[in-house]
Amino acid sequence: MSVTDEVLGILENNKGNFVSGNEISKKLFVSRNSVWKAVNSLKLQGYDIESVTNKGYRLSRDNDIISVQSVGKYLSYDLNIIIVDETDSTNNYLKKLASDGEREGTVVIARSQTKGKGRRGKSFYSPENTGVYFSLLLKPNGSVEKSLFLTVMAAVAVAETAMEYSNRDIAIKWVNDVYIDGKKICGILTEGSVSLENGGLDYAVVGIGINVLTPENGFPEEIKDIATAIFSKNEAPSDAKSRIIAGVLQRLLDMYYGKDRDFIERYKSYSFLIGKKINIIYHDCTEPAEVLGITDECHLTVKTERGEIKTLSSGDVSVRVK
């Protein structure tokens, strides 16, 4: 880790408070001049750092640049966090690393995406400064079908992190869309590599995109009626984006490693589809149905208009407008 990274870590852990240059130099076993150079380098990167004689350096509480240090300080897990300014898709970026043998627990975070991916080939609006876009590499034991649980875990993690910071109505649309007040804040896409030897997963990449702040000029015309964000700009706490990323990762990994075992019941309770009239979306047509419930395997149980009971393990549905 560079001196600049270590200085940033100290300033992040003391955010809003002054830390003397002498204290930093002693802690890192470097010269005061090295600390000064590191602070200037951080300022050039956009960090709002105040320098005051006889007081030291203070990172502004309002600074919300996502960094390894700003996310890591809220986590209990030792993750390999990689930050990129821009990529086509964090899932694509991480799948390449996974193919080269990157370890479980690697996270790629992008400040913006040029080709953010949603399900069924859809795109996910991924502007700089207002959203968070990240992918987590996992290497679960088990069948490909079990990978559905990873998507469910991610949806619960997003919903409950949003609840922590918002008093608004949070809900999940099967299987992986999270809503606030009836509008979408999040998309989740889980992709993986299948072992030809045993039919299980070599690895899974869980990609998550969340609208944290409302864009200054609002959402684009084509999604403005269906998309929203966790915060408007004046509602957001300090470190909003870093807190959201860390909160989701912490909760997801608690479920994945078995520290949180009742997430399926909570997932069911957050669903707003039960009892609703829906359309099951196929490749080239739709089928009307009514949602009866969600199974312990997180499959959707529906009754078609012909009276047939179906259990959906994958796919997409839409709520029918009366």
State pLDDT tens for residues 263-302.
999 999 999 999 999 999 988 889 999 999 999 999 999 9
Residue type for 311, please? T
Residue 118 has pLDDT above 60, yes or no: no
Question: Which of 90-94, 143-147, 257-261 comes out lowest in average pLDDT?
Answer: 143-147
More confident residue, 115 or 181: 181
Task: Count Cβ atoms within 10 A of the Cβ of residue 197 and give its class: 0-12 exposed, 13-18 middle, 19 or more buried.
Answer: exposed
Q: What is the pLDDT of residue 139?
A: 93
Q: Looking up tokens 């996270």, which residue turns up?
A: 107
Q: What is the pLDDT of residues 52-71, one digit of tens each?
A: 999 999 999 988 899 999 99
Quickly list H helices, 262-306. 263-270
- What is the chain's Cα-based Rg? 22
Q: Looking up tokens 């990609």, which residue turns up?
A: 207
Q: What is the pLDDT of residue 100?
A: 94
Q: What is the pLDDT of residue 42?
A: 96
Residue 124 has pLDDT above 80, yes or no: no
Q: What is the pLDDT of residues 152-199, one digit of tens each?
A: 999 999 999 999 988 788 999 998 899 999 999 998 999 988 876 666
Q: What is the pLDDT of residue 117?
A: 58
- Taken in order 145, 149, 151, 152, is the CA torsion positive or negative? positive
Indicate yes or no: pTM above 0.95. Answer: no
Mean of pLDDT over the chain: 90
**Mean pLDDT over residues 95-115, rounded?**
92
Place 91 in a pLDDT band, splitting at 50, 70 and 90.
very high
Segments of 8-166 assigned E as strands: 49-52, 56-59, 80-87, 106-113, 131-138
Q: What is the pLDDT of residue 264?
A: 95
**Is-contact 32 21, C-beta < 8 A?**
yes
**Is-contact 19 57, C-beta < 8 A?**
yes
Output DSSP code: residue 290.
Answer: E
Place 76 in a pLDDT band, splitting at 50, 70 and 90.
very high
**Mean pLDDT over residues 214-236, rounded?**
85
Q: What is the pLDDT of residue 284?
A: 83
